[in-house]
Amino acid sequence: MNTPPPTSTYRILDIRSPVTEDIKLPAHQDYPGTTKENEDHTKNPPTPPSSTDQSLDAFNGDDLVDTILESLDKQEGNKSIPTFVLYDKRGLQLFDEITHLDDYYLTNAEMEILKERADQLAARLHDGSVIIELGAGSLRKTSLILDAIERQKLKVTYYALDLDQQELERSLGSLGDFTHVRLMGLLGTYDQGIPWLNQQFASADPPTHKMILWLGSSIGNQNRRESAMFLHRLQQMCLQPGDFLLIGFDKRKDPVKIKTAYDDSLGTTREFIMNGLDHVNVILGQAVFDRSKFDYDSRYQSDLGRHVAHYRACENMVLTYQRRAGDQLRIPLHKDELIHVEYSYKYSDEEITHMLNAAQLDKAEDWANGKTPYQLVLAECRSFKFDCDKPGTLETLYPTRTQERTEQDASCVACMADYTEAYHQEQQMENEGGSVSLSHVVGTKHWPEYIPSLHEWQQLWRSWDTVTTTMIDHATMLFERPISLRHPFIFYLGHIPVFLDMLLTRNNVDGAGYTEPENFVNIFERGIDPDMDDPSRCNPHSVVPTNDEDWPSVESIKLYQQKVRNRLQRLLFEWEAEDYSASVQQQRKRAARIVWMCFEHEAMHLETLIYMLLQSPNVHPPAGVALVPWKMAVTSKRYNAHDDRPRTCLDPASLISVPEADTIMGHDDDEDADFTSRSEDPVEFGWDNEHPKQSVHVDAFSIQSRPVTNGEYLAFLKATDSNDWPAAWVLMEDGATIGVRTTFGFCPMDDALYWPVQTNFYQGSKYAEHHNMRLPTEAELLQFRELMNNTTNKKIPNIGFRQWHPTDVSNDQVHTLGDVWEWTATPMTRHPGYKQSKLYPGYSADFFDGKHHVVLGGSWATHPRLAERKSFRNWYQAAYPYVVAGFRCCK
């Protein structure tokens, strides 16, 4: 096969003017059959003429003049200048100089990561992928990625989006020769680039695989709310399931190091900032600013995690601007008054997670620089996203805590924006029918938090469809029973819509009758949970077909499912239109409870399907979800994994002392009061085994800071000469390696040593007894979690499919929630004040047999509405080995 000659050519497209017709880009230069004759350039955006003069490409127009004047013509302490004024031609050159300074650690830290990880990043791409870089700049870092793509011989098109034509020409021309990578420039701003990307790629069929690059900690140049809105805009307009977004995050660190980076010893940063005033004069067309009368004011606000740049007036003065109409705008400035020009936000791990939550993105992989806290996060767009830790996300986007403010900080009100006010403004926009990109986080006054919204239902349905249509092969797996104590997969496909339709009808929620075919209720009403010791003993359940051919067709089930979903959507649309939270709220409380109950029921069965699929040898990986790093290392020679972790057991977990206390279990939610209560207290629905609230005395005890790991359990089995393997373990194809079952296949034990082990109750108890400890009671585990509630050094919970298998725990962080459910020593029994549900009588009452034990928390596959509700109690038979449940020890 002939290798095409290398090329250093590039093309720049001017996207500053909207294109109303379909755009057809030329095929890749090196694709077989591509010639000059068959390339179609007729519908491309125009190529701008070569730039030879000082570039003002994105800065022309009266709108920019108005923007600058409006931001300046404000009261003292509120004046600002848009950050974009820093990036004219001279500013870009100065910034490039800054990136070469030792004091400015960000660029070197990012480059060190890319030098080591560019091959892994390139391995995520394939022939035909496109890369779009936002704010391309000099492309020093990007060249490392493109070189890795070239080494892997991938036919990829790279688009560099920038607002300066000369810089685009210089940067693209400096990249050198490529055989496989095709270079394109996009001349325009972010606001011009996003609609162009949406028009060109978002609706392509088949989808175009994309990776967007947002490097250089550019995400820090806006406040966190603005950056989250921008990320969510990218997710909504430019990304499809399977696409990636690579983001550079500068981490919170030593304030002195940060201050030095933004006020370097050579004064280059100072000149970069001051040059912005010269650029303002160019845009305004008048010498409004005399830069000799201003100084650069640099400060790091560690409580907010951000560096702030201002211009400080050196004397009293008046800025004057001569308007075209003949009148003069006069802007007074007092000595030491500040004019805000730039933010640089830094991020903690929790804040990064909250940003991705708000943007409805998930983390596929991340890489950190060991010398300087800096992180590259490879985020991915999936087919669904559950909202986790909404309070934490809201606190990141709209901080409400009282901040310590010095007199100096208080002198710039623009820097101390009232985020609480912004929060209420966004809710008001939603109430008035405006489009709010973060409404899934902010919520709306029209819709109470305790009822799952239509958005939440849609995400749940997408998750259900991902599992049932991409992980279960309908041609071969519908009648499979990987766990003999459960029905075949096809039962659950029908059970979920039947349960929803049945409860809506029986409780007259919408006045409609059963959805056709009505006989589905007879087959799919209720599943089974046989006694493991005597399977003939079982809870009341539906009678299901015994022959495969007697089941309804999967096509008829899917049609029925869609009709039931449409029924619920009509109801929710009606409630939204009538403003649910107004005077009708109390009258609809019972109907709302039914909707909530059906939502959580579906979420529970989603996890049931997951642990059943983990036992199936035929499970398919979830579509639209990136392969996890260990799977990439196993399956892709191009991935070139770098994992230097020692393959040994963790040291024993530290023991945390929990003092004697009274702990609160459950909450008050009597379903019988739905029609009578007139309380205005916040409502929190729960199942019958969560009510009522009770206080339980707990003696002092000590408990491990994290769950027991696979590595520790393996060491225990070896020490006791036992072969009592967890059901989650399997012998791999080589006949020697132990693997852990996952939705991506068997994970080698070396890669799962630090994951929480998944066992039944008895296996956990034997481990604890061997180490002279025991499993905690329900009250003890709750008290431990309450004690650790405000601990800052907590592992971010892996719940709601954040990752599609358990993840590493460590002795450096306290683990309180996620990865696995946790067994307790408490049997599932009637607690004081228990009242059996009338809406779902068999929910818990059928399982007070002394054989079921309470599990708390939630696994990686547990919906956040369940995992994050402290009163939620789950249970499994003590001997049941298949669930995603682990344990920790106490004494």
CA distance to 258, 505, 668, 774, per residue, from 586 (Å): 53, 20, 17, 46
- The stretch 789-796 carries a mean pLDDT of 92
Amino acid 798: pLDDT: 98
Neighbouring CB atoms inside 10 A of 751's CB total: 23
DSSP β-bridge partners for residue 322? 328
pLDDT in the model for residue 556? 98
Backbone dihedral angles phi then psi of residue 821, each to the nearest 5 degrees: -65, 160
DSSP code for 293: G
Contact indicator for 226, 422 with CB cutoff of 8 Å: no
Alpha-carbon span 211 to 208, nearest angstrom: 10
Tokens of 393: 């996300």
User: End of a domain among 563, 588, 612?
Assistant: 612
Rounded mean pLDDT, 124-142 = 93
What's the burial of 285, exposed, middle or buried (CB within 10 Å: 0-12/13-18/19+)? exposed
* Runs of H (alpha helix) within 51-184: 62-72, 89-98, 105-122, 140-151, 165-173
Q: Identify the pLDDT of residue 39.
A: 39
Q: Is 294:314 a contact under the CB 8 Å cutoff?
A: yes
Domain match, 687 and 767 both: yes
Count how many domains the chain has: 3
The CATH number of whichever domain residue 561 belongs to comes to 1.20.120
Residue where a domain stops, chosen among 391, 417, 446? 391
pLDDT in tens, 95-110: 999 999 999 999 999 9
CATH of the domain at 807: 3.90.1580.10
Same domain, 655 and 607: no
Q: Please indicate, yes or no, whether residues 668 and 588 belong to a single structural domain of this protein.
A: no
Q: What's the CA gap between 68 and 81, in Å, rounded?
A: 6
d(CA 754, CA 643): 14
pLDDT at 206: 82
C-alpha 612 chain-centroid distance: 26
CA R_g for the chain: 30
pLDDT of 8 > 80? The answer is no
Q: Are the CB atoms for 447 and 574 separated by under 8 Å? A: no
* Nearest of 366, 374, 383 to residue 121 by alpha carbon: 366
825 shares a domain with 720: yes
Tell me the two tokens of residue 63.
């709108």
Q: Across the chain, what does the average pLDDT equal?
A: 89
Give the H or E element holding residue 256.
helix 255-261
Q: Is the pLDDT of residue 41 over 50?
A: no
The pLDDT of residue 405: 44
Tell me the two tokens of residue 661. Answer: 């206390």
Residue 642: the pLDDT is: 65
- Count of beta carbons in the 10 Å neighbourhood of residue 84: 19
At CA 195, angle to CA 194 and CA 197, rounded to 5?
65
pLDDT in tens, 481-524: 999 989 999 999 999 999 999 999 999 999 999 999 999 999 99
φ, ψ at 615 (rounded to 5°): -90, -5
The secondary structure of residue 796, as a DSSP letter, is P
Residues 653 and 593 in one domain: no
Residue 786 CB-density burial (10 A; 0-12 exposed, 13-18 middle, 19+ buried): middle
* Distance between CA atoms of residues 160 and 230, nearest Å: 18
Residues 820/886, Cβ–Cβ less than 8 Å: yes
Please state the rounded mean pLDDT for residues 727-745: 95
> What's at 49, amino acid-wise?
P
| Cα separations in angstroms, 796 against 539, 555, 670, 807, 809 | 37, 40, 33, 11, 10
Give me the phi and psi of 663, to 5 degrees please.
-110, 150
Residue with tokens 């029908």: 494
Query: Taking 60 as the threshold, does the pLDDT of residue 417 lie above it?
Result: no
Domain boundaries, position 515: 454-612
723 secondary structure, DSSP code: -
148 CA to centre of own chain: 27
* CB neighbourhood size of 484 (10 A): 8
Name the residue among 359, 333, 483, 425 with its Cα closest to residue 882: 483
Q: What pLDDT band is residue 643 in, cutting at 50, 70 and 90?
A: low
Whether the pLDDT of residue 537 is over 90: the answer is: no
Q: Is the peptide bond before 646 cis (omega within 30 degrees of 0)?
A: no
Count how many Cα atoms sit within 13 Å of the Cα of residue 234 in the half-sphere of its side chain: 28
Average pLDDT over residues 272-299: 97
Check residue 59 and give its pLDDT: 52
Determine, yes or no, domain membership for 478. yes
Per-residue pLDDT band at 27 (split at 50, 70, 90): very low
Q: Are 382 and 624 in contact (CB under 8 A)?
A: yes
In the prediction, which pLDDT does 30 show?
Answer: 45
* pLDDT (0 to 100) of residue 865: 98
Amino acid of residue 567: R
Instruction: Please report the pLDDT score of residue 587 as a whole number.
Output: 72
**Model pLDDT, residue 433:** 42
When pLDDT is cut at 50, 70 and 90, the band that residue 638 belongs to is confident
Evaluate if residue 825 carries a pLDDT over 60: yes
Using 50, 70 and 90 to split pLDDT, how confident is the model at 92? Answer: confident
In this structure, are 595 and 674 located in the same domain?
A: no
Q: What are the C-alpha distances in Å from 506 to residues 16, 573, 594?
A: 58, 21, 10
The last residue of a domain, from among 336, 367, 391: 391
Q: Is residue 826 part of a domain?
A: yes
**Do residues 656 and 784 make contact, with C-beta atoms less than 8 angstroms apart?**
yes
| Claim to verify: residue 100 and residue 161 sit in the same structural domain | yes
Residue 337 lies in a domain: no
Give the amino acid at 426.
Answer: E
Q: Quote the tokens at residue 818.
A: 């996620």
Q: Percent of the chain beyond pLDDT 90?
A: 74
Domain assignment present for 260: no
Question: 801 in a domain, yes or no?
Answer: yes
Instruction: Tell if the pTM clears 0.85, that is, is over it.
Output: yes
State both tokens at 93.
Answer: 């050159």
- Report pLDDT for 414: 62
For residues 747-765, average pLDDT: 98
Position 434 pLDDT exceeds 50: no
Which of 802, 860, 862, 819 lies closest to 603 in space, CA to CA? 862
Task: Examine residue 265 and state whether it is found in any structural domain, yes or no.
Answer: no
What pLDDT does 23 receive? 43
Residues 6+ positions from 771 with CB-CB distance below 8 Å:
716, 889
Residue in this structure with the two tokens 């830790």, named with its chain if needed: 389
Q: Whose CA is closest to 704, among 764, 647, 784, 641?
A: 784
d(CA 659, CA 703): 11
586 and 659 co-located in one domain: no
Q: What is the domain-level CATH number for residue 153?
A: 3.40.50.150
Average the pLDDT over 610-625 and give the result. Answer: 97
Structure tokens at 325: 């109409």
Whether residue 652 sits in one domain with residue 582? no
State which amino acid sits at residue 823. Answer: W
pLDDT exceeds cutoff 60 at 37: no
Residues 438-477: tens digit of each pLDDT = 888 887 767 788 899 999 999 999 999 999 999 999 999 9
User: Taking each helix axis from N to C terminus, what angle separates 268-284 and 62-72, rounded to the nearest 10 degrees?
Assistant: 120
- Distance in angstroms (rounded) separating the CA atoms of residues 408 and 411: 5
Please state, for a pLDDT cut of 70, what percent of the chain lies above it: 88
Give the model's pLDDT for residue 452: 94
Identify whether residues 759 and 878 lie together within a single domain.
Answer: yes
d(CA 660, CA 662): 7
Report the alpha-carbon distance of residue 197 to residue 168 in Å, rounded.
18
pLDDT band for position 20 (cuts 50, 70, 90): very low
For the residues 799-811, what does the mean pLDDT come to? 98
Token pair 């956040």: residue = 864
375 CB-near residues (< 8 Å, 6+ apart):
248, 249, 251, 347, 352, 366, 367, 368, 369
pLDDT at 757 over 50: yes
Note whether 728 and 758 are within 8 A (CB): yes
Cα dihedral 196→197→200→201 (10° resolution): -170
How large is the average pLDDT for residues 615-623?
97
Q: Which residue has the tokens 């940063």?
A: 269
Judge if 763 and 865 occupy the same domain.
yes
Q: Are residues 732 and 830 in the same domain?
A: yes
In a domain, 841, yes or no: yes
Beta bridge partners of 321: 329
Cβ–Cβ under 8 Å, residues 599 and 479: no
pLDDT per residue as tens digits for the range 680-722: 667 899 999 999 999 999 999 999 999 999 999 999 999 999 9
Q: Are 183 and 209 spatial neighbours (Cβ–Cβ below 8 Å)?
A: no
* 622 assigned to some structural domain: no
The b-or-e profile of 507-545 (16+ CB within 10 A means b, else e) is eebeeeebbeeeebbebbbbbebbeeeeeeeeeeebebe
At residue 324, the pLDDT reads 85
Report the distance separating Cα 713 and Cα 719, nearest Å: 10
pLDDT tier for residue 423 given thresholds of 50, 70 and 90: low
User: 541 pLDDT exceeds 80?
Assistant: no
For the record, the structure tokens of 152 come out as: 């892997």
